[in-house]
Chains A and B, each alone.
Chain A
Amino acid sequence: MPKKNILLFVLLVIISFVLMTFQSRKGHLPINNLLHNLLNNTHKATKSLSDSVTRPFERMALNEEDNIKLQKRIDDLLMEREKYQEALIENKRLKELLRLRESSSSYITSAKVIARGVDYWTNTLIIDKGLKDGVEKDMSAITPKGLAGKVISVSDSYSQLLLISDINFSVTVRVQETRKEGVISGTGTRKCVLKYIPYEEEIKTGDIVITSGLDSLFPPGIQVGYVSKVDNKGAGGHFQYIEVVPFQDDKKIEEVIIVR
């Protein structure tokens, strides 16, 4: 193998390490959002395209509703109705979202999820609202079921959400019944961990956990999840080891509401 190639390889290793060391000391380098925006625009365009292809069929199916009413006596009515299930579910979801929007005083905007983040390691989502719609970094994302995550980066028309299940996500919470405060952190899986609850506190499986608002990031009173496992036999060091399952499964998020 030519020496030139080995030198080039060593150079790449050195440059990478210098870059990473520099950024670990001085913070991330400012990166041009051009490619990011282009990628998000393409995601949005393909989502609109797929929606526009499927929508006429959904509408056609909905127009047949009258005919279906006339054929109530036909035995396979239930099978026909299954076609509408998706639209009904969507309708119900949007109604819940609307109700949440009306009840939330710190409402900023509602947004659709257009893609998952490019990075495999982190649990992130891309939504179709950004600075132009009033979204800012560190705002909270909620759904009718509960807390979904927070905004970690914003461009003009898009934002990226860090989901509650990510290991770099934390939120101060309160156990609804006992009012005890703690911190919930993501674990990279469906379950989160409720930290800093001393052994004296009695926490039961099924207890509901809500945001406390003490971190000044998340509004208080948003439902987060329920306690699924409590280990008070010393596995968690000085505190109890408590697992919490978020109400909102991050694999099923389609729309969110951004609140301050």
Chain B
Amino acid sequence: MKYLYWSLIIFLSFFLQGRISVLGISPDLTALLAYYAGIKYRETKGLLLGAVIGALEDSISLSILGPNMLSKGIIGFSSSVFITGGFFRWTPLLGIIFISLLTLIDKSVVFLSRSLFDNMPATFSTALFVSLMQALLNAPAGLFIRPKHAE
């Protein structure tokens, strides 16, 4: 049941990413999923689930396999270490800041990996604009995705 739930939710996030946009930019729903996976299932599962989500995203983006796998794995892992692992005490503000920061890291990893190992996917200024917009669009989710122990 759990696998079905995750398959459905991953598929839905891919689907919605192609349909929703603000100023031509879609929110990075898969980064949110990896963040959620890390917070819900701790480091190991968060990292693995993040990597799987990223690998699937790579496979449908018709680019090389690896950049999203790495970046989403990093999100799944670090959200668990820093938020659930007791490194920081979760507050709504921390949630917003952390999710924006992780989205920026995700975008930077993908941009750099693709530029190094494949074609540069966008100009630097476009990449910066897309990254900042997505970090902004993802930020409110930081209020709602919270660890179990948060008040």
Contacts and interface: CB of A to CB of B under 8 A. Distances in A.
A88 interface: no
A116 B18 contact: yes
A29 interface: yes
A46 B14 CA distance: 14
A238 B125 CA distance: 24
A251 B25 CA distance: 12
Contacts of A118: 14, 17-18, 57, 60-61
B91 to A, nearest CB: 22
Interface in B104-151: 110-111, 113-114, 116-123, 125-127, 130, 134
Nearest to B15: A42
Contacts of B127: 121
Nearest to B120: A167
B81 interface: yes
A230 interface: no
Given A5-B44, A8-B44, A121 B62 contact: no
Name the interface size band of chain A: 35 or more
Contacts of B28: 120
Question: Interface size for chain B: under 10, 10 to 19, 20 to 34, or 35 or more residues?
Answer: 35 or more
Contacts of A46: 15, 19
A142 to B, nearest CB: 22
A121 B130 contact: yes
Contacts of A35: 11, 14, 56, 59-60
A23 B44 contact: no
Interface in B1-47: 11, 14-15, 17-19, 21, 24-26, 28, 43-44, 47
B60 to A, nearest CB: 5
Interface stretch (A14-22, A55-63, A92-100, A205-213): A14-22
Contact of B117 (A21, A31, A153): A21
Given A5-B47, A12-B51, A160 B62 contact: yes
Contacts of B77: 5, 9, 12
Nearest to B62: A153
Given A122-B122, A126-B18, A29 B62 contact: no
A185 to B, nearest CB: 11
Given A8-B47, A20-B66, A120-B28, A188 B18 contact: no
B123 to A, nearest CB: 5
Contacts of B19: 43, 46, 115
A43 B15 contact: yes
A187 B125 CA distance: 10
Nearest to A47: B19
B64 interface: yes
A12 B70 contact: yes
Given A12-B73, A120-B134, A187 B123 contact: yes
Interface in A6-48: 8-9, 12-13, 15-17, 19-21, 23-24, 28-29, 31-32, 35-36, 38-39, 42-43, 46
Given A16-B69, A28-B62, A42-B15, 17 more contacts: A1-B43, A9-B77, A19-B69, A28-B65, A31-B59, A36-B60, A39-B60, A115-B19, A119-B121, A121-B110, A121-B111, A122-B61, A126-B18, A167-B120, A168-B119, A168-B120, A188-B126
5 closest residue pairs by CB, A with B = A121-B121, A188-B126, A16-B70, A119-B61, A20-B66
25 contacts: A5-B43, A5-B44, A8-B44, A9-B43, A16-B66, A16-B69, A16-B70, A20-B116, A23-B65, A24-B116, A31-B62, A31-B65, A32-B59, A39-B14, A118-B14, A118-B61, A119-B62, A120-B17, A120-B130, A121-B121, A122-B121, A152-B62, A168-B121, A187-B123, A189-B126
